[in-house]
Amino acid sequence: MKNAHVARILYEVADLLELDGVAFKPRAYRRAAQSIEGLATPIEALVESGEHREIPGVGEAIAEKIAEIVETDRLRYHDELKSRLPIDLYALTRIEGVGPKTAKRLYDELGIRDRVDLERAARDGQIRAVKGLGARTEEKILRGLAEAQRWEDRTLLGEALPLARRLIEELEAGGTFDRLAAAGSLRRGRETVGDLDIVGVSSRPAVAAAAFASLPGVAEVRMSGETRTSVRLAGGMQVDLRIVPAESFGAAWQYFTGSKAHNIALRARASARGWKLNEYGLFDAAGRRRAGADEDGIYEALGLSGIPPELREDDGEIQAAEAGRLPPLVRDDELRGDLHVHTDASDGRASLAEMARAASARGWSYIAITDHARFSDAVGGVTPDELRRQQTEIAAWNDRVGGGLRVLSGVEVNILPDGSLDLPDELLATLDIVVAAVHSHFRQDRDEMTSRLVRAVESPHVDILAHPTGRKIGERAGYDADWESVFAAAASAQTALEVNANPVRLDLDGGLVRRAIRAGARIAIGTDAHDPSHFDFAEFGLLTARRGWATASDILNTRPAQEIAG
């Protein structure tokens, strides 16, 4: 996946052009870079199919440049610009407090080209001597350098969401806020987040801001003003709090939820009517407030139906909202069960009964027990005999306990390198749910992997293809395959594609979910639970499916058990 690399070059082109005093082009390059950064789909795949031209902010010229980068990893235009200012602008401007102008000034005055030069100059006290900078800037740069090293990575949604909830609870307990809500990429359900954004209403903003700055986990207060306070937690995460008047809450919540591209499109829409949209409200030409207290009011005043946060990526949602054609995204109360669950019969940590009781307590009406099968002996996979015994145990549980929960018998069967399965058909035929997945030979080439997956989804016994791309966020990229072919095969074989809800996986991701649904395939949200607490992952899977524009009818496990297991 070269998206980050492409975005980085485009960002640097934008900075270099800006330093040359070129107008407007920097904005165009940044917009394109933002779009590509936010894509869930590998840019290589889009270039190959020519679809990269459809990315918002990518026109003819940038499309060609993207293709050049994908092909050669470089961009001649970028090299030319850089030859005049031979510095690592991207790395430098990612240091807090350093923007393109400061970076250029530091190069002109001190010959600083990269972070190593920057750190040396800051330590030697040379930066404070540069006109326009000072001792505090120098200190800030040193802190920024340390932070950049410590916090390169983004935080998983699965960690950030509980953290944000805890912070909000602590603030609510303090009693100085009338209202609080999480915003930012967290609210949009992105798989990772860079920082946390919280919007609040308080009649005592100064007291409220102080309460925030003195929360137990706060290690450093980065800035604090009337409306905006920014802190860094001990773990390194940055949290921004905006305090706004009640009549502006919706505008602020909308604004700080983003995405940036979505907001820019929305503001352009307001501007086309002679209106102005900011974090305080939507104002007409006469300066009268048209909306602002609640989010939907803003969209409505702009002639749009309310857009769910998960869709706010400027990827067609505004046009769909305008036409009244936004899909009714799947809701948590529509999910009836979980079709990917492990027990201690394989590598799970709890017994079948414990998992069933937890699922029942959670309100599921069914779960499928899908322990690893034979191949996965290394993680304690079940043998065919053990699987048969488990079926008996499941039948007994359903007879004896049952109640609101039906336990389905199933297995997570391995897809061998040639696309065959490592359990006999006769055995698979006796199960309610067969989940198939790749667990080995990840490095097959694209064609091999594609036909392997196509063969697997075409097996009459396979109901779900689990974690289809095999990616693990921050650990390994997914394997290469022609996903359109896999999705088309899954659609015609009526095999569902999983959104694995484990926060490290979230696989399929939102972009691929959308493509799978367009191809006519159905999606299954599976927690891959190895412990009763993992049923909570369902929320992350749901957000991911929603980012893929999924409705209840696209999701297999919104259906009752009898429709799924026959």
Partner DNA sequence: GCCGTTTTCGGCCCGACTGTTTTCAGTCG
Applying CB under 7 A, the residues found at the interface with DNA are: 23-25, 27-29, 31-32, 56-63, 93, 95-103, 128, 131-138, 140, 195, 197, 223-228, 238, 240, 256, 260, 263-264, 267-268, 271-273, 276-280, 303, 322
CA–CA gap between residue 30 and residue 14 (Å, rounded): 6
Q: What is the nearest approach in angstroms of DNA to the Cβ of residue 533? A: 32
Q: What is the nearest approach in angstroms of DNA to the Cβ of residue 215? A: 17
Q: Are 298 and 282 in contact (CB under 8 A)?
A: yes
Looking at the chain, the number of H-run helices and the number of E-run strands are 24, 17
Q: What is the nearest approach in angstroms of DNA to the Cβ of residue 104? A: 8
Closest CA to 347 of 378, 316, 322: 378
Strand ordering across the sheet containing 464-465: 337-341, 366-369, 406-414, 433-437, 464-465, 496-500, 523-526
Residue 96 or 531 with smaller CB distance to DNA = 96
Q: What is the nearest approach in angstroms of DNA to the Cβ of residue 311? A: 17
Task: Give buried/exposed letters for 311-334 (b at 16+ CB in 10 A, else e).
Answer: bbbbbebbebbeeeebbebbeeeb
Which structure tokens are listed for 283?
Answer: 């104002």
Q: What is the nearest approach in angstroms of DNA to the Cβ of residue 134? A: 2
CA 487, 490, 492, 494 torsion-angle sign: negative
What is the number of other CB atoms lying within 10 angstroms of the CB of residue 138?
A: 21
Residue 63 or 434 with smaller CB distance to DNA = 63
Q: What is the nearest approach in angstroms of DNA to the Cβ of residue 242? A: 8
Q: What is the nearest approach in angstroms of DNA to the Cβ of residue 550? A: 25
DSSP-derived secondary structure letter, 55: S
Q: What is the nearest approach in angstroms of DNA to the Cβ of residue 451? A: 36
Residue 92 or 433 with smaller CB distance to DNA = 92
Q: What is the nearest approach in angstroms of DNA to the Cβ of residue 314? A: 9
Q: What is the nearest approach in angstroms of DNA to the Cβ of residue 217? A: 18
DSSP-derived secondary structure letter, 376: G
Which structure tokens are listed for 233?
Answer: 């937690």
Whole-Å CA distances, 201 to 98, 248, 401: 32, 9, 48
Residue 237 or 335 with smaller CB distance to DNA = 237
Closest CA to 443 of 470, 465, 414, 412: 470
Q: What is the nearest approach in angstroms of DNA to the Cβ of residue 87? A: 13
Which structure tokens are listed for 172?
Answer: 């609510």
CA 144, 148, 149, 150 torsion-angle sign: positive
Q: What is the nearest approach in angstroms of DNA to the Cβ of residue 225? A: 2
Name the 3-class secondary structure at 534. Answer: helix
What's the burial of 154, exposed, middle or buried (CB within 10 Å: 0-12/13-18/19+)? middle
Q: How, if at all, do strands 228-233 and 195-201 pair?
A: unpaired
What does 126-139 look like in DSSP terms, one character per residue? -GGGSTT--HHHHH
Q: How, if at all, do strands 496-500 and 523-526 pair?
A: parallel
What does 344-365 look like in DSSP terms, one character per residue? TTTT-SS-HHHHHHHHHHHT-S
